[in-house]
């Protein structure tokens, strides 16, 4: 069963939420996991793609947004579709529950203090809880 972790960030700045997603992806890949970062839009996918190139001055997280290349990279970023060969870690940055979440070992839900994001996060928390998924909340 998928383990679901909610990471609650202390402010409403979307750029800090994206930065945390990059750090989480970096940590997971260093532990040998493959990561799917699910975004809410093409522009959000583009922002994450650019940030993964530059968020750390001392390291790089290999990644792709190209569905034809995702099998050769540890991180795949996209806003739709189903990465069939990735089962380790799903980082959700969209306001919706990804349809494929149940196939992953771990799901990281990133929620900040923006009212829309916080409200959507609460709805997803209720959804997972009502279905019996193990939930943990980490207030950062």
pLDDT digits (tens, 9 = 90+) for 31-75: 999 999 999 999 999 999 999 999 988 888 999 998 888 888 999
What is the number of helices (H) and of strands (E) in the chain? 3, 7
Furthest C-alpha separation in the chain? 42
Which stretches does DSSP call E strand in 47-129?
A: 63-64, 75-78, 89-92, 106-111
By the 8 A CB rule, do 25 and 17 touch? no
SS3 60: coil
125 pLDDT band (50/70/90 cuts)? very high
pTM, two decimal places:
0.95
Quick one: pLDDT band at residue 134, thresholds 50, 70, 90?
very high
Where are the domains positioned within the chain?
A: 3-139
Q: What pLDDT is stored for residue 59 in this prediction?
A: 81
- Was domain 3-139 assigned CATH 3.40.50.10110? yes
13 versus 59: which is more confidently predicted?
13
């Amino acid at each position: 069963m998928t383990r679901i972790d909610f990471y609650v960030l202390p402010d409403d700045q979307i750029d800090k939420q994206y930065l945390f997603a990059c750090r989480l992806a970096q940590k997971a890949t260093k532990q040998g996991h493959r990561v799917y970062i699910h975004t809410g839009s093409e522009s959000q996918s583009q922002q994450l793609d650019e940030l993964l190139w530059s968020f750390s001055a001392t390291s790089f997280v290999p990644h792709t947004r190209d569905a034809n290349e995702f099998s050769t990279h540890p991180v795949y970023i996209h806003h739709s579709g189903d990465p069939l060969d990735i089962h380790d870690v799903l980082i959700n940055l969209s306001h919706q529950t990804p349809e494929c979440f149940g196939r992953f070992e771990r799901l990281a839900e990133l929620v900040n203090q923006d009212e829309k994001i916080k409200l959507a996060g609460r709805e997803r928390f209720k959804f997972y809880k009502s279905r019996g998924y193990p939930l943990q909340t980490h207030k950062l």
